[in-house]
Structure 1
């Protein structure tokens, strides 16, 4: 019965897995409707993941889908960067050459980092967004290919995946939004121990509702019987089923191995050890075949035939005969493309590799390395360097392993595989002391690093030193998103520099440390920059010196405005030009242009920024061009030129989105949201702010987006949402971000929320804290709205008993702060006029002329919300003075229409109640009947007579018990009335209800309780 098993250990019958296969085929059907599908298939080694995917691939092919399979490649203990995606895209290119070429058009160079056949990989740029750009381009490539056909992408053996592959897969699973695409990834579940790098990814993907996860269980006894029947081509006897089921425990691969080993005549000698089980069929092979199997086991997941021929040192006939025996025994398989051989199951390869003697393993790896060095055509070019690094390392030869690791790190950097670059650099540092000195002396920074030599030496003639590797590792860690590790590298380097003083190197590491500390919200970065500045003081111009000056000026512009910043920025431009550091020069010129504008030369500053923007874009420095867009849009908004700011922001987003500079894009989108808010295009502003939240990778732009959303919510009267977004902004900025451009708007929002909730004491507290922190030069654009919010809250609270004490001091604080603020543009002159009028209103001294001046100042500004508020106050003043009712009615209608268009519930309600009190129509008389004279504004809010009485007492500051005593009801009944009032008014608490009543002037002083 076991006779034919030697050549057929795999069942031709697909056993079990019907439910799992149904899930996969359902996903295929869903994908046909242009809904991308993502699935993870997990299970222990040998449980049947590959067989399930093979069946699915057959079904997908039968349905006309284009299938591409790629496997994670294990070379020694390492994964090859992007290996499964490279293989799968290579397969798609073979099947759909024209379609893939069209989908990659214009981005061939970048996509060549994953699919080298597309062309030459461009040199740089390298930054923290490089990997994100590559991932975005890959996602769009797949979506374009799957636009007109169903594409199935199968990525096998995710447990061997390199970090870059894992990150790319996670990105695809999160962002694929269209196209008939199915992505299936398999992994070995029993390998995913607690510290395995795949474990966090699986946890992350489990939280995505778009990802389906299939876990394969072992076969039960009935399924093992069916598997045996398929293998044996006849029904097995029950004793055999019992024996195999017991010893395999339902693992499909173990079933195959048990039956195959029995068929090989090893039935009696078989032990229960898994390792022995997996090796038993290898041990009965001819000696030459065993030798070839051992060589293949150490070569990686797949070994190319020409490489195997070179390493085995057999004649071609001998090798083919040995391979025939190994393939016939179902130990090795030819790869689908026919270029090489792999083990039928990775468990057997691992067992064979573990069985090698230490000296045998190093000898085999040395042969692989020597073969690749002798003939660079034996493997694909993109694989050669990393395989050499692995083979030489496993061969235990530091003299060869060190330069090989460095070569591999350069190759990984070119592919934006920064995590792999970092790992290889760390290996190089570990090998450094073991490698002979003569080997180290011939290594040059120019060959292995893209960091300009921090020592200021010629990289072509100066030997590479460990500090160069630490500098490169710092950048690799930062670019790869591992900022904590980058921070540790700077700490290690600076500790080394204590024993080997080198001012330029130390300044470079301190500058990097400043950037990292700031991005990790551990501080504002000044302490580190100050050290770097002191280190370069008095030194000749250099690249490092120029960058330190540029960063000092940029820090000062954001944190400590003053004339010293412009001097530092101009010196940075000069130094950068002297040493040919063009990128640093352009970056510094962005700072110069911004500082010129804030120093009183807006025309010169804007012209300089536009020049840098265009120059940087032409030279391919998209990051700097993006920064110029950020500063330009912000400065235009500060001048009141919001429409220009939006137009420029749209251009900037288009520019940087192509390069996938996500943080830069988020800053520009955030500035666009601010200008759209000013223009009254609030729905668009909300969309831009949401885009900022989605795109932002760092905390600061996300905090800025939350601030924009909070402003919108506050203006619309959505206090709960405004408070939520304010808290989110505080969380994003953290406790270390002291930039006035972030700090002052947060104070303004806190004032607005407190005022809306009737907490006048908190309004005053926030104002006092803001004034104490100060309004640095150039930050009037943030200070004027803050003062306006605070003084408006004081004016609205007139008549609120709890607000009387302390009002005079608060108004004095506003007046004193206003005297220090500049009004260089009409928008801020209008704000100053508005603050002056509100100060008078808070003291009961405002008149019609005051508000006419405000309305006249705001009218030309294209600020519809500010204008509607000004017209509300002017109408109030006209009515209070017994002035022109027709004009007041027109002002109310104009303001109400604007509030309605903007979606400002609060302003709309204020205006509606003003119209009711004054018996003014909200539309022209020929369109509606004038409001009835007896209309009660309290009834218009939906309150009953009793609730009116309760609200009057709430507005007076009475507690529930005091209300009960005043109205002769129980405290519980008073509490119920208060709850109903809060719900009808749509407010969150008693203070907000009281503030609303006073703001709408629902009660006169005569209505308030006495005694």
Structure 2
């Protein structure tokens, strides 16, 4: 009999165990954390985890899952299935379903016995599945910390990695600890795990921990713990040298050393010999049994082994007992597995070709017969492939592909599709077996590739199908063209519109099904986002008629959505708004259409300057998404839509937190770009110009690639380029085609929601260029300003003003027109006209003005007053600008205020002026209006309503008045104002500004 398999105490891992315990302590305190544990095979990852989980089981819920080695195509969600089974075993089915919340039906994807039959399990897609698992772990962690262990993720399928990545990103303030292990030597260049690990490395809540080999003293301690006595120096040197400090090899060498008859030279010299040494000492029947088990996989059910092993029950029992006694196998109530996967791999690699085919065929047949429970089609396909029986592997792979699709395991589905294509020509009647033609299978595989994130490969496959001379009808060709159009749009590449129009030509009116309707709505959407509004309206209207013909409520909602948005942009505000509202009614009960409506409706409210409405709409959608269990998947888009209104309302901390949370969850490409634009500008206005410029350089490529396809992105990027360029002193960058030049693009079509704010930025750049030209600091001999002169700048301004006049119907146009007038005011057109800045300041106090414009226009008004020689007025206005910027956190304005104070010797501390006559107290015209209303006893909210400004702006005015009058209360202000004649001076009607 061999020595005990392992040391009764863990050797050389005290610091590693402490590291895991430290992470667990942080988790127990309320912070989700993850650990990625790596090391070579045999280094002791499982032993360390066993010791760790044993130490925390009394205070935590520990669930474990094991990845399965099925070669190149892994079984979908195999370790997650193990987690769910472990969880149900510990907590019970009902408790698990209750904790899973509204998305509990989607758990049937992982464990069919969990899912209620009454619900549509595919509603919400893979995002809902991910969210449900996150909600499940969150709920469980409220009672006690949850430790989720997944071993050997180097064998994990893409769907499992995607789910794990989501959990790591999504679980932040919950008591959940995720521990993943992998063999470092098995993750070669190009391995799917590399990208997964790189993604995790960007998350601050993930720790990487690598297990090192044991030292010679540790090996000696391990040997003593196993043998009970010390080893002589020669023996320990031999064991240490041969094992190289790998604990598993130390155990094997010590066991062999105990059984050998000769000296140390008889110990194996190679790793293969060491792994097979125990196996080769067993009886021939036991060796035969172990060869069969090695073909079964990491863990083999007794029922399966009994079916495949040809030696009979007695031989099986005898062989198993010997293998367990020799520390080759371990067993539980129903399964067998090798003590270490390395031994299993060595025995399997040693199989003869005939044995390999025979054993794998045996397991495939047994699995197909239902032995050992419900068969996993991917495992059946794997065994038939290794048996080289393609005729039987083909239908098994077809079933596996369907199972993978049903489980949202798109990467596995794609790999199985590629496997079918690889053996297609070796299987008679392949089209009959798969139920589709080869080109249809390629289209299906391309769809899976795209859903798995491999869009370039999906496009290549569609191109290959399109180039195939196989006969296809117009509908099949249209679907291929549609798919390629979607894939190109998914990558932010041009060409979608032409492909969609080619597809539409092949689907005439009256064609059964929804394909024509989908093409029409897609074309309407694509034309809208590039600014071809008339074409967008035409396609949307035709899509609406098509939806009525086919009875598709979803297409009807989408058509109304697109048609309404396009009409609003086109200037048909009332009819467009009515049409957009019908999209919500038509979408009732359809989650996809309703999400699309809420996204567009909240975005449009923001563009129209109704920031409170936009925020309320977005947050209502987020709340509904949370109720449905998709808050961090599809609800993420609505959460992203809350960012811009929050910024406009001056709630910058909330906006920034939402941006970071959304970006961490990796929203779709377009929304990632929108969020990054918002974050850059928010960082800039907070005063961190360097960080804003760095972020722009880092994200520039992706932002510019999408800007070629979307007007919204193009002008959003242009604003970033211009504002960052101005703040960083990069006037040439601000003047570039991506900045000011956006208005000169040949395909520019007026869309006021995006044009107007960008025109105000462009006017600021133009004014700065005029100053540089006048002072001789502009290089007009070469570079971006070559040949620029006053006439060219005047013509450019005239074109912009013509565009302003054309877009004056937009509700926020008065604000942006006033800003353009102010930026380009004065005799030289450089922005030093006091009256223009007073008008812009008044507009900046209106509810439709973004919050940052109030302190910005106050600063610019102070600058204009300095230029005009009005130092007292400049002083007062500068104090207001500083107060407003401080309240908002607008560091960029504060920097400008400090620079102005330094240049003009002004005071920033806001020291009050002495009380006296009305003429000695300097109040602006707006402040006199506010003072009048204060004396009438109105609140800030009431003042805001009377003057059509926000309550927050009213509050800033009240604070400025109290400071100037040198009083502490509103009552005192009214008394001083009355005594000094200020109310008489401000008498008169208060008109709408």
Short-chain TM bin:
0.7 to 0.9
Matched, 1:480 2:471: no
Contact 2:67 2:79 in 1 (8 A): yes
Contact kept, 8 Å, 2:7 with 2:225, in 1: the verdict is: yes
Tell me which residue corresponds to 2:440.
468
Kept in 2, the 8 Å contact 1:784–1:818? The answer is no
Q: Match for residue 639 of structure 1?
A: 608
CA contact (8 A) 1:483 1:520 kept: yes
* Alpha-carbon distance between aligned partners in 2 of 1:291 and 1:921, rounded to the nearest angstrom: 90
Equivalent position to 1:902, from 883, 888, 899: 888
Check whether the contact 1:920–1:931 (CA below 8 A) recurs between aligned residues: no
The structure 2 residue matched to 1:109, chosen from 105, 112, 133, is: 105
2:571 corresponds to 1:571: no
**1:829 to 2:822 alignment:** no
Task: Please say if residues 841 and 861 of structure 2, whose CA atoms lie closer than 8 Å, have aligned partners that are also in contact.
Answer: yes
1:430 aligns with 2:430: no
What is aligned with 2:299? Answer: 302
Tell me which residue corresponds to 1:161: 156
2:700 maps to 1:730? yes
1:743 aligns with 2:726: no
Deviates more, 1:85-94 or 1:841-850: 841-850
- CA offsets per residue over residues 924-957 of structure 1, 9 Å max, x none? 6468999999xxxxxxxxxxxxxxxxxxxxxxxx
Counterpart CA distance in 1 for 2:330 and 2:842 is 84
Partner of 2:956: none
> Out of 702, 707, 712, which is 2:677 matched to?
707
Aligned partners of 1:5 and 1:260 also within 8 Å? yes
Deviations along 1:31-72, whole A, 9 cap, x unmatched? 3333444333333323333333333333334x5443333221
1:698-730 per-position Cα deviation (integer Å, ceiling 9, x unaligned): 443233223323444555665445544554563
CA change 1:419–1:892 in 2 (3 A) is same
**Cα deviation digits, residues 157-187 of structure 1 (max 9, x gap):** 2332223333433444455423444433332
Structure 1: runs of 5+ lacking an equivalent? 445-463, 934-1011
Measure the CA separation in 2 of the matches of 1:49 and 1:763.
54
- What's the CA shift string for 1:287-324, capped at 9, x where partnerless? 44333322211111111112222222555445333322
Shift, 1:794, TM fit: 5.3
Q: Is the 8 A contact 2:703 2:717 kept in 1?
A: no
Q: Give distance in 2, aligned partners of 1:222 and 1:908.
A: 63
Contact 1:108–1:119 at 8 Å: present in 2 too? yes
- For residues 846 and 218 of structure 2, what CA distance do their matches in structure 1 show? 81
Relative to the length of structure 1, the TM-score reads 0.78
Q: Distance in 1 between matches of 2:414 and 2:393?
A: 16
| Gaps in structure 2 of 5+ consecutive residues | 777-787, 922-993
Residues 118-197 of structure 1 mapped to structure 2, 5 A cutoff: 118-120=114-116, 125=122, 130-197=125-192
Query: Which residues of 2 match residues 558-957 of structure 1 at below 5 A?
Result: 558-579=529-550, 583-613=554-584, 615-616=586-587, 618-621=589-592, 624-656=593-625, 660=630, 667-712=637-682, 715=685, 719-727=689-697, 730-735=700-705, 737-738=707-708, 739-755=710-726, 769-773=741-745, 776=748, 779-792=751-764, 802=774, 806-807=789-790, 809-820=792-803, 821-836=806-821, 839-843=824-828, 860-863=846-849, 864-866=851-853, 897-904=883-890, 925=913
For residues 493 and 419 of structure 2, what CA distance do their matches in structure 1 show?
Answer: 29
Does the 8 Å CA contact 1:921/1:930 hold for their aligned counterparts?
no
Indicate how the Cα distance of structure 1 residues 596 and 5 shifts in structure 2: closer, same or farther if over 3 A, else same: same
Task: Tell me by how many angstroms 1:334 deviates.
Answer: 1.0
Which residue of 6, 10, 18 corresponds with 2:6? 10
Aligned to 1:448: none
Give the conservation status (yes or no) of the 8 Å contact 1:707–1:725: no
**Cα pair distance change 1:596/1:257, threshold 3 Å:** same
1:198-242 CA-to-partner distances (Å, cap 9, x unmatched) read: 344445545655444443344444444444444444445555545
In structure 2, distance between residues paired with 1:892 and 1:281: 86
Task: Out of 563-572 and 171-180, give the one that drifted further.
Answer: 171-180
User: In 2, Cα distance between the equivalents of 1:759 and 1:282?
Assistant: 72
Query: Are residues 102 and 890 of structure 1, via their aligned partners in 2, closer, same or farther at CA, if it must alter by over 3 Å?
Result: same
Task: Give yes or no for contact 2:302–2:336 (8 Å, CA) kept in 1.
Answer: yes
Q: Residues 931, 148 of structure 1: CA spacing in aligned structure 2 closer, same or farther, 3 A cutoff?
A: farther
Q: Following TM superposition, by how much is the alpha carbon of 1:422 offset from its aligned partner in structure 2, in angstroms?
A: 1.2
Structure 1 partner of 2:402: 410
2 CA distance for matches of 1:578 and 1:327?
70
* Cα deviation digits, residues 827-876 of structure 1 (max 9, x gap): 21343355346555345899887677666666554425545666777889
Mark the CA change 1:495 to 1:581 in structure 2 (over 3 Å): closer, same or farther.
Answer: farther
1:90 aligns with 2:61: no
1:543 lines up with 2:514 in the alignment? yes
Aligned to 2:954: none
Of the structure 1 ranges 889-898 and 9-18, higher mean CA displacement relative to structure 2 is found in 889-898
- Counterpart selection for 2:53 from 51, 57, 72: 57
Deviation per CA, 1:131-171, whole angstroms, max 9, x where unpaired?
A: 45433433343233233323333322233222333343344
**1:648 aligned counterpart, secondary structure:** helix
Cα offset for 1:755?
A: 4.8
2: CA distance, partners of 1:532 / 1:92: 49
Q: Distance in 2 between matches of 1:832 and 1:370?
A: 77
| Aligned equivalents of 1:924, 1:274: Cα separation in 2 | 86
Q: State whether residues 220 and 250 of structure 1, in contact with CA within 8 Å, keep that contact through their aligned partners in structure 2.
A: yes
Instruction: Check whether the contact 1:869–1:907 (CA below 8 A) recurs between aligned residues.
Output: yes
Distance verdict in 2 for CA 1:267–1:529, change over 3 Å: farther
Displacement of 1:633 in angstroms is: 2.0
In the aligned structure 2, how far is the partner of 1:285 from the partner of 1:892? Answer: 91
* Cα pair distance change 1:791/1:156, threshold 3 Å: closer
- Aligned residue for 1:5, secondary structure, equals coil
| Matches of 1:352 and 1:399, distance apart in 2 | 27
Quote how far apart the aligned CAs of 1:557 are.
Answer: 0.5
Q: How far is 1:327 from its partner?
A: 2.0
Query: In the TM superposition, what is the alpha-carbon distance from 1:795 to its structure 2 partner?
Result: 5.7
Provide the rounded CA distance (Å) in 2 between the counterparts of 1:136 and 1:167.
12
Work out which of the residue numbers 367, 373, 379 in structure 2 matches 1:372. Answer: 367
User: d(CA) in 2 for partners of 1:882 and 1:211?
Assistant: 59
Once residues 272 and 549 of structure 2 are traced to their aligned partners in structure 1, the CA distance between those partners, rounded to angstroms, is 66
5 Å matches for 1:515-534?
Answer: 515-523=486-494, 525-534=496-505
Q: Is the partner of 1:734 in helix, strand or coil?
A: helix
For 1:846 and 1:250, the matched residues in 2 are separated by 77
- Superposed, 1:183-222 pairs within 5 Å as 183-205=178-200, 210-222=205-217
From 353, 359, 370, give the equivalent of 2:354: 359
- Secondary structure of the 2:182 match is strand
Deviation at 1:741, TM superposition (A): 1.9
Mapped to 1, the partners of 2:190 and 2:848 lie a distance apart of 58
Q: Which residue of 1 aligns with 2:411?
A: 419
CA separation of 1:927 and 1:721: change in aligned 2, threshold 3 A: farther
- Could you tell me whether the CA contact under 8 Å between 1:38 and 1:182 is conserved in 2? yes
1:253 corresponds to: 248
Q: Residue 74 of structure 1 contacts residue 160 of structure 1 at CA under 8 Å; is this kept in 2? A: yes
In 1, Cα distance between equivalents of 2:725 and 2:21: 56
Alignment counterpart, residue 380 of structure 2, candidates 367, 371, 388: 388
Contact 2:693–2:728 under 8 Å retained in 1: no
